[in-house]
Structure 1
Amino acid sequence: MTDPLIPAVLAFRDNGTPFSPLYDDIYHSAVGGLEQAQYVFLRGNQLPERWQGRRVFTVLETGFGMGINFLTTWAAWRADPARCERLHFVSTEKHPFTQADLRSVYAATISDPAIAVLAKTLAAEWPMLVPGTHRLEFEGGRITLTLVFADAMESLPALRLRADAFYLDGFAPARNPDMWTPAIFKALARLAGEDATFATYSSAGDIKRALTQNGFVYQKVDGFGWKRAMLVGHFAPRWRVRRYEPPAPLEVDERHAIVIGTGLAGCAAIERLASRGWRVTSLERHASVAQDASGNPAGVFHPMISRDDSVASRVTRAGFLYALGRWAALERLGHPPLRGAPGLLQIAADDEEARSMSEAIAAFGYPSEYVTPVSLSEAQRLAGMSLANSGWLFPHGGWIDPASLCAAQCATAGDLLDRRFGVEVARLERSGNEWTVFDTEGRAVARAPVVIVASAHDAARIAGLQHAPTRSIRGQLTLLPPGTVPPLGMPVMGIGYAVPLTDGVTLTGATYELDDPDASLRRDGHLENLERVAQMLPPFDGIVDPARAAALAGRVAFRCVTSDRMPMIGNFADEAASTRDAQRLRGAWPLDLPRVHGLYGAFAYGSRGLVWAALGAELIASQIEGEPWPLERDLAEDIDPARFLLRALRQSTVS
């Protein structure tokens, strides 16, 4: 179970230097934080020279603190005309500052005007203080800051990246020994790219030994300010120190990808690839985007709260926060999707659920901007009507028009996107370094080195997967005309949901019918939706005469789900090769499996496409580009399309 996040306490020494009362140590030298960052970490890692001419360069830092090292690195990147195309800065932090304290410490300590502008930008984008991985983008996506709010002992082994430079900047070993253990350095060795460099303010003997034991070569050099010495060096192991190599970019002749499907999953993939300069060909069997489940008039989005902070909760939390950032970016680019005002209310099924969820929210220490329990009276005030029970409020949850989101994502791709509609994809074939996509008439319709299959129910068939247990869930929505029910103050959900749309229509739903292919509207489906909503919202009881329910408007769509209700996101495994080598792979881990070169999946999102699609697309784009993954490796493995093959191998049922 995830530990609650405890923020840092802002304090200053008499000389104005910020320090941590918890560790009784300063965040930077009294001589100057910016100067220390420049001398120790940039100069110590031979930057900016080493990133020049590179497409992607990745810095990994242990201990984000105030973010001074990141800000200084960002400023150096901006000032360098030969800078790398994309700079990734990944940092762990067990006790992050609150946004207010971050602004305060910047105002008190940063005098450089150029750095102050960057600090203001960072503080404005500072994430909610909830555990996990947070990805922020600056400079149009060319600077990516990945913050991992967790204990470094747990978070560093969970990272998946190839580091080019290490900033080892935890509090002093004597003050915070947990940041300098052999296990920490072993984790760093797993992530080091070829000739990765490091620098650290410290020069303690234990650190030298840990570096040497894990394949790093160090050199003692003059320290910064009053410090006599510090350490710099590089990764040069004389023996094998890791089982798996860090991720590398996919080798392709051309940065061109085919995306099959233009629902939430496919359009998010288009946007994320195009943002990196990829040319994308989209293939869609319908005449326009978002025609299947993504074509519903609105969908609700919110995090998932569970008593044990389950895998589904963690993935949904990461996806929800990342999606909010991407949607805000679309708005800044002039492509705003249609969505309602912020705020979504979840109603407890009974008093016991209300009590247990309130206890879980308190135990995890979630900030009120993420989720907050609300009493029955407060919930009724927010909803604008009587309710059956209390619940909890997601201040940044709400509803969005999925089709408008898909359109916005495609619009940002501009000329990099070639749209092709009315294409019914039948199969894929690889020849040389390219994939060829064939339609149902046997015609080759597109060729590219990379294919992303984002076509929901058809994905497993198109990709030729045998180990992808997906099923179809029929969902019928009900649309209530204006004036049918009292106006809701915000979306309300629980055993059903009710959403007040901008035109006065109220959307309710949705039924959940397994393997039912009937696409026609049913009277009983409308009545079922209204009955469930009425259990949460008593004013909805009896609002529609059952005899007239058949005349209500609505929509039927089909959700694609897996047997474990988690999505399928990432590089497909080579099932044929795995079958041939089944005996050896019986005890395999995900990184042991052979993978299909250039073939990825993004499907089986069920009813959580709005919160999973953007993060899933970012994960796939990061895998293709060899960039740091946007979420922890164990979570990526829980949504890996190969997980069902892996289970079959372990159970010796592969044939």
Structure 2
Amino acid sequence: MSQLTHAKVHFTAQGIPYAEAFADVYFSDAGGLAETDYVFLQQNGLPQRWHTHTADTFHIVETGFGTGANFLVTWQRFCQFKQQHPDAQCQRLYFSSIEKYPLTLADLQQALQVHADQPELQPLIQQLLQQYPLGVSGCHRLVFDHGRVIVDLWLGDVSEVLPNLTPADAIYLDGFAPSKNPEMWQPKLFTDLAKISHANTSIATFTAAGMVKRGLQQAGFSVKKVQGFGRKREMLTATAPSVTSDNNNCFNTPSVETAHATKANAHKEVTIIGGGIASLCTALALQQRNINVHLICADNDVAMQASQNRQGAIYPSLHAQVTENSQLQVQAFLYARQFYQRWQQRGLDFKLDFCGMIHLGTTPQLQYRQSKIVTLWPEQLVSAVDAQQATAIAGLALQHSGIYYPLAGWLNPKQFCQAALAYLQQQSNFRFSNNTQVLNMQRQTDNWLISAASKTFTSDYIVLAAGSQLAKFATTHALPIITTRGQVSHVSQPKMAGLKTVLCHKGYITPAWQGLHSIGATFDRQSTTAFISSNDDAENMQQVAEQLDSPEWLSGAKVHSACAAFRAGLPDQSPIAAEIEPAFFALGGFGARGIMYAPMLAELIACQICTEPLPLTQLQRHNLSAARFKPKNK
């Protein structure tokens, strides 16, 4: 995975950003937004094509996000289309944009000031700025308009990203001119575009360069020149030909499958088996896509197992090298932040506090590893702090240096699950069966038969998100699930009242909520029941004393209560989120990271069920699949 470099820009007297590496402006001084509208929307037949589009989603792929102007204009036009045609088949817009050299947030803010004379665009600009991601490679999914507009901002090289994308309905072939950026305009670019095209895909590009025309033609596209914008005499448009035996190795078939899948969404049902945060996140993701959802829970209520915690920390566990696992964790963490904030803004009532987190370097080995970590990631994600700085940030006296995650925090997962269930029960396409223990699931000709103690159900799809019970069924018994009992202690101590951020060492301490701090957690792989133990409370307290050199503010702390549950993990410390059998998905194995992983991986499964663009690379999806546990051929 490539390291990311921000674009180096300066601004012209007209306020237009100028890329120093490519010696070129980001857009024409003849009118950036008008150029976008003419070159990319009009020449791709938009917004007219949305009126007759037969699928629920329309997918645009763009090379070169730049200042986001193309997206902003497209978003504005899609909003206007939805206002005028609320019952049109096309309900959601996916915009997948690739950017190798993203602007910094400060430069993006300045660049978008050139559109200050467009008052109707200002709310969209502000929303984009609020969600603009950190400079971390990979896919950043940004959700707008209650899920009606979704941006997948892929930060990385176009040659690495394009093979991971699902078929596009329209392509904005943008970027700096071939003479300025020849590295991008290689033959592989055009063959990769062919591989994500179907018979109805269109392409528009600002350039009329001969090598672009020839590259598109050699990849199988039908190309023509049209009138260019402003002072540009010509530009190119292209369409994918009908699939024939000669080109079907490059082009996808028409979007019939996608159209069929999404048109049938309102008639499908997905049964989710479980009752924790993964189940509720999946139910929300599916319900937002008009899928009928049946949640089956073995307990009387949701969040009675591992999701029962009062306070669960949300932060990525980073490694001293940039690994696939740490990359996934950062993407999941950043998505989880916006996911929980979005649902809180929509009225779900649960406690959420992004108060930051300090991971204290309590051993020389950990301090060395932390010194490596801070060199690999943006300081907005993680930075080094000495003991004095850590003390000032935390609000308690600390003796160790560490690393600080300013975007981290904690969530009450039980409140979230209960609030999500209350919201879902108000929706006509959701039903809930509690106190229902699933005994068996059997594949039939065109659906699944689910057998419980006293009743049976049928379902088109199953998502098994059963936590520590994930491998208890015939379909999933081969998964090498590791269950670990853990206990968290709820503690009061007036001297700790000043704690302002989550503290992590070998365990963790949260700021007080309702007068109690959460301190944990134990790791017990021997027990078979989730009992509460005073010995575990003592172990939690002793661990803090040992790791933090018996801080004065801990003395006299009183344990008031505790909770215990089983975490489910996998040997490689990565979760599973994959289709195990046709129309049967497994979701779990989060270890202690369920709050962080669940939103992104629930989104992934919902997109797979609905045949929508996926927010992870092919390698990441493989690393989340059961296939990774199969023996490799020698």
TM-score (norm 1): 0.89
Indicate whether 1:560 and 2:568 are aligned.
yes
Q: Give the counterpart letter for 1:567 in structure 2.
A: P
**Residue pair 1:265, 1:617 contacting (<8 A) in 2 also:** yes
Residue equivalent to 2:594: 609
Distance 1:119 1:563, change over 3 A: same
How far the C-alpha of 1:53 sits from its partner, in A, is 4.0
Residue equivalent to 1:435: 448
Distance 1:194 1:460, change over 3 A: farther
SS in 2 for 1:462: coil
Report the RMSD for the aligned CA atoms in angstroms.
2.4
How far the C-alpha of 1:485 sits from its partner, in A, is 5.3
Residue equivalent to 1:210: 215
Residue equivalent to 1:162: 167
Residue equivalent to 1:580: none
SS in 1 for 2:595: helix
Q: Give the counterpart letter for 1:617 in structure 2.
A: A
SS in 2 for 1:176: coil
Between 87-96 and 525-534, report the one with greater CA deviation: 525-534
Which of the numbers 465, 469, 472 marks the counterpart of 1:458? 469
How far the C-alpha of 1:435 sits from its partner, in A, is 2.0
Distance 1:375 1:631, change over 3 A: same
Residue equivalent to 2:249: 241
Residue equivalent to 2:388: 377
Between 231-240 and 170-179, report the one with greater CA deviation: 231-240
**Residue pair 1:534, 1:541 contacting (<8 A) in 2 also:** no
**Residue pair 2:579, 2:586 contacting (<8 A) in 1 also:** yes
Indicate whether 1:491 and 2:502 are aligned.
yes
Whole-Å separation in 1 of the counterparts to 2:60 and 2:149: 11
Whole-Å separation in 2 of the counterparts to 1:196 and 1:244: 10
Which of the numbers 193, 202, 219 marks the counterpart of 2:198? 193
Which of the numbers 133, 136, 143 marks the counterpart of 1:137? 143
How far the C-alpha of 1:539 sits from its partner, in A, is 4.0
Residue equivalent to 2:35: 36
1:17-32 to 2 correspondence within 5 Å?
17-32=16-31
Deviations 1:464-511 (A, max 9, x none): 134311121111222223448564232100211111231221211111
Distance 1:155 1:141, change over 3 A: same
Whole-Å separation in 2 of the counterparts to 1:421 and 1:221: 61
**Residue pair 2:92, 2:149 contacting (<8 A) in 1 also:** yes
Whole-Å separation in 2 of the counterparts to 1:152 and 1:86: 24
Residue equivalent to 1:58: 59
How far the C-alpha of 1:140 sits from its partner, in A, is 1.4
Which of the numbers 396, 401, 411 marks the counterpart of 1:390? 401
SS in 2 for 1:635: helix
Which of the numbers 434, 441, 448 marks the counterpart of 1:421? 434
Which of the numbers 563, 569, 585 marks the counterpart of 1:600? 585
For these two proteins, the number of residue pairs brought into alignment is 617
Residue equivalent to 2:321: 308
How far the C-alpha of 1:543 sits from its partner, in A, is 5.5
How far the C-alpha of 1:422 sits from its partner, in A, is 0.1
Whole-Å separation in 2 of the counterparts to 1:244 and 1:492: 50
Q: Give the counterpart letter for 2:42 in structure 1.
A: R
Structure 1 spans left out of the alignment, 5+ residues: 575-595
Whole-Å separation in 2 of the counterparts to 1:116 and 1:45: 25
Residue equivalent to 1:113: 119
**Residue pair 1:133, 1:631 contacting (<8 A) in 2 also:** yes
Whole-Å separation in 2 of the counterparts to 1:543 and 1:25: 59
How far the C-alpha of 1:266 sits from its partner, in A, is 0.2
Indicate whether 1:622 and 2:621 are aligned.
no
Distance 1:299 1:106, change over 3 A: same
Which of the numbers 154, 157, 160 marks the counterpart of 1:151? 157
1:495-510 to 2 correspondence within 5 Å?
495-510=506-521
**Residue pair 1:260, 1:454 contacting (<8 A) in 2 also:** yes
Residue equivalent to 1:475: 486
How far the C-alpha of 1:542 sits from its partner, in A, is 11
Whole-Å separation in 1 of the counterparts to 2:367 and 2:253: 46
Q: Give the counterpart letter for 2:625 in structure 1.
A: D
Which of the numbers 617, 637, 641 marks the counterpart of 2:622? 637
Residue equivalent to 2:305: 292
**Residue pair 1:410, 1:417 contacting (<8 A) in 2 also:** no
Q: Give the counterpart letter for 2:268 in structure 1.
A: R
Residue equivalent to 2:8: 9
**Residue pair 2:362, 2:548 contacting (<8 A) in 1 also:** no
**Residue pair 1:280, 1:417 contacting (<8 A) in 2 also:** yes
Q: Give the counterpart letter for 1:111 in structure 2.
A: D
Residue equivalent to 1:232: 237
Whole-Å separation in 2 of the counterparts to 1:134 and 1:245: 28
Structure 2 spans left out of the alignment, 5+ residues: none
**Residue pair 1:486, 1:539 contacting (<8 A) in 2 also:** no
SS in 1 for 2:390: helix
SS in 2 for 1:619: helix
How far the C-alpha of 1:7 sits from its partner, in A, is 2.0
**Residue pair 1:340, 1:502 contacting (<8 A) in 2 also:** no
Deviations 1:610-634 (A, max 9, x none): 1100001100111111111112221
How far the C-alpha of 1:540 sits from its partner, in A, is 4.7
Between 557-566 and 103-112, report the one with greater CA deviation: 103-112
How far the C-alpha of 1:243 sits from its partner, in A, is 9.7
SS in 2 for 1:306: coil
Q: Give the counterpart letter for 2:452 in structure 1.
A: D
**Residue pair 1:202, 1:231 contacting (<8 A) in 2 also:** yes
Indicate whether 1:220 and 2:209 are aligned.
no
Which of the numbers 176, 182, 189 marks the counterpart of 2:187? 182
Whole-Å separation in 1 of the counterparts to 2:250 and 2:274: 38
Between 522-531 and 482-491, report the one with greater CA deviation: 482-491
Residue equivalent to 2:80: 79
Residue equivalent to 2:373: 360
Distance 1:246 1:187, change over 3 A: farther
Whole-Å separation in 2 of the counterparts to 1:2 and 1:142: 31
Q: Give the counterpart letter for 1:529 in structure 2.
A: N
SS in 2 for 1:457: helix
Whole-Å separation in 2 of the counterparts to 1:194 and 1:293: 47
Whole-Å separation in 1 of the counterparts to 2:295 and 2:464: 10
Whole-Å separation in 1 of the counterparts to 2:361 and 2:303: 32
Indicate whether 1:95 and 2:101 are aligned.
yes
**Residue pair 1:190, 1:245 contacting (<8 A) in 2 also:** no
Q: Give the counterpart letter for 1:424 in structure 2.
A: Q
Q: Give the counterpart letter for 2:573 in structure 1.
A: R
Distance 1:483 1:115, change over 3 A: closer
SS in 1 for 2:473: helix
How far the C-alpha of 1:461 sits from its partner, in A, is 3.1
Whole-Å separation in 2 of the counterparts to 1:411 and 1:67: 37
Which of the numbers 571, 591, 611 marks the counterpart of 2:579? 571
Between 246-255 and 477-486, report the one with greater CA deviation: 246-255
Q: Give the counterpart letter for 2:616 in structure 1.
A: L
**Residue pair 1:343, 1:397 contacting (<8 A) in 2 also:** yes
Deviations 1:282-337 (A, max 9, x none): 10010001110111221111022212111221111111111111111112111132
Indicate whether 1:521 and 2:537 are aligned.
no
Whole-Å separation in 1 of the counterparts to 2:625 and 2:17: 43
SS in 2 for 1:196: strand
Whole-Å separation in 2 of the counterparts to 1:411 and 1:329: 16
Whole-Å separation in 2 of the counterparts to 1:529 and 1:48: 60
Whole-Å separation in 1 of the counterparts to 2:24 and 2:317: 37
SS in 2 for 1:52: helix
SS in 2 for 1:230: strand
Deviations 1:622-653 (A, max 9, x none): 11111111122211211123332xx23x348x
